[in-house]
Amino acid sequence: MSGLDVNGLWLRYGATPVLERVELHVPAGELVTIVGASGCGKTSFLRLLLGELKPTRGQILLEGKPLAAEPGRERGVVFQRYSVYPHLTVLGNVLLGLELDRARFTGHIFGRARRVALSRARAMLEAVGLADDEAKYPAALSGGMRQRLAIAQALVMEPAILLLDEPFGALDPGTRKDMHALLTALWQRLGLTVFMVTHDLHEGFALGTRLLVFDKPRWDPQDPSAYGATITYDLPLRSPEARASPELAAALASAMRPRRAPASA
């Protein structure tokens, strides 16, 4: 089946279960938003999709094939902060992946290959609205510009899947809105599959074609780390009716409900 499949996935850190029995099929082209209480394993799930972590049990298939052992160019990633290299210019940041791809050891490419890479990098900077800033260093950029650069850096490699871990969490509301418009435009234009973790329910709701809620279906108040989280709600958001469903409201409330172990006597 085309797209991404997660089959019977479990993840433990040492003896501590973090994710359990995760099952998912995502056809290519969805924009999947992921919410859940703090510490329930959302970032770990993205790191599994990236190939940075291996499942303890189960498998992840991309286009029917197990994920490559290492993070590869078919998956791009943007984190909340620190995704860009401070010692490289804006253009240098976007060129770097292309250069390393072509010249794995030296990191330098020449002649026609360099001209092609430059034109791809500049087209990407144009797409994210940084065409006039290519000579600047990240320290001279605003938070929103830095995240646009991080997105350009990920997308210039033409990944099929873009993984976003709270990419707009540190931005002010106005900049965030601009970033939402940019992400939606790039997602539609490039036909990407996007997975985006967010703490902002409205963001997850407004941007996604599908919302996943991670939560612990089993909970031992005496031992909160006894069980892992799984996908407790998988909500299609394409239709206005789905966006207004009572099930959605319940999911959103449950996803963010903090649970506490009983206070010790």
Ligand X SMILES: Nc1ncnc2c1ncn2[C@@H]1O[C@H](COP(=O)(O)OP(=O)(O)OP(=O)(O)O)[C@@H](O)[C@H]1O
Site residues for ligand X per CB under 6 A: 13, 18, 36, 38-44
Cβ 48 to ligand X, closest distance in Å?
A: 10
Please report, for residues 79, 184, 224, 264, the alpha-carbon distance to residue 188 in angstroms, rounded to integers and kept in the order given: 21, 6, 41, 52
Neighbours of 66 (CB within 10 A): 10
Cβ 19 to ligand X, closest distance in Å?
A: 8
Q: Which is nearer to ligand X, 120 or 199 (CB)?
A: 199
Q: Which is nearer to ligand X, 43 or 89 (CB)?
A: 43
The span from the first CA to the last CA of the chain, in angstroms, equals: 53
Cβ 197 to ligand X, closest distance in Å?
A: 6
Cβ 17 to ligand X, closest distance in Å?
A: 9
Q: Which is nearer to ligand X, 98 or 201 (CB)?
A: 201
Q: Which is nearer to ligand X, 187 or 214 (CB)?
A: 214
Distance CA 27, CA 57 (A): 22
Cβ 198 to ligand X, closest distance in Å?
A: 9
Neighbours of 68 (CB within 10 A): 12
Q: Which is nearer to ligand X, 39 or 217 (CB)?
A: 39
Please report, for residues 7, 86, 108, 123, 262, the alpha-carbon distance to residue 16 in angstroms, rounded to integers and kept in the order given: 20, 36, 44, 45, 20
